[in-house]
Amino acid sequence: MPKAKAEKHIYQLKVTLKYSKPPIWRRLLVASDTTLAKLHDILQITMGWEDAHLHHFKIGEVYYSKPMTMFDMEDLDNEDSHKVKLSQIVTGEKFKFLYEYDFGDSWYHEIVVEKILPHDSQQPLPRCITGKLACPPEDIGGIGRYYWVLEVLEHREDPEYEDLLEWLGGDFDPDAFDMDAINQELSRLS
């Protein structure tokens, strides 16, 4: 007997960078047949990361990532994120899972399925529909160091101010969030 074709939906996801206060977050619309590997690409764009580090998703007690063949990472017992679609793991609205990016800085993101919407072929997907605040710069040293950097940047007289400004490549606006630029970049994934 042939397998029934899974019905497509749109998932409205809220992605929050854990331990950020005030919260740094994005609300996204993605197709239910999006693989976890593709969701990683979407998250990199919407959060503002540069895809320069390892990552994984944690769903229940199972980790999903790209197959790793370098160094000792091959012993990680992770499932292949290219082979798993959101529709295979999402059990309904309010379903939560974790995404960790950069195992050194440990950027943990909580992802919540807020709504499951009917599929609409006219709806451009993936798409960011709202969000708040800029993502911390890559390689800054984790959430604690990020808030230390913001504190230094508020005080021009701080001896570390000029070095940090140079390291950041100029001004950094922690309140910046450009949804149009994000969606333009996301449109290239389609």
Residue extents of the structural domains in the chain:
9-133+178-187
Please tell me the distance from the alpha carbon of residue 154 to that of residue 152, in angstroms, as a whole number: 5
Residue 69 is predicted with a pLDDT of 52
Which residue numbers in the chain have pLDDT < 50?
Answer: 1-2, 4, 72
Residue 172 is predicted with a pLDDT of 86
Residue 1 is predicted with a pLDDT of 47
CA R_g for the chain: 18
Separate counts of helices (H) and strands (E) for the chain = 5, 8
User: For the purposes of burial, counting CB atoms within 10 Å of the CB of 142, is it exposed (0-12), middle (13-18) or buried (19 or more)?
Assistant: middle
Predicted TM-score (pTM) above 0.85? yes
Three-state DSSP at 47 gives helix
Q: CA dist 22 to 19, 36, 97, Å?
A: 9, 27, 21
Residue 76 is predicted with a pLDDT of 62
Residue 59 is predicted with a pLDDT of 96
Residue 30 is predicted with a pLDDT of 98
Cβ neighbours of residue 31 closer than 8 Å, sequence gap 6 or more: 8, 9, 10, 11, 86, 119, 125, 126
Residue 75 is predicted with a pLDDT of 54
CATH of 9-133+178-187, one of 3.40.47.10, 3.20.20.140, 3.10.290.30, 3.90.1720.10: 3.10.290.30
Of the candidates 127, 98, 89, which has an alpha carbon nearest to the alpha carbon of residue 17? 98
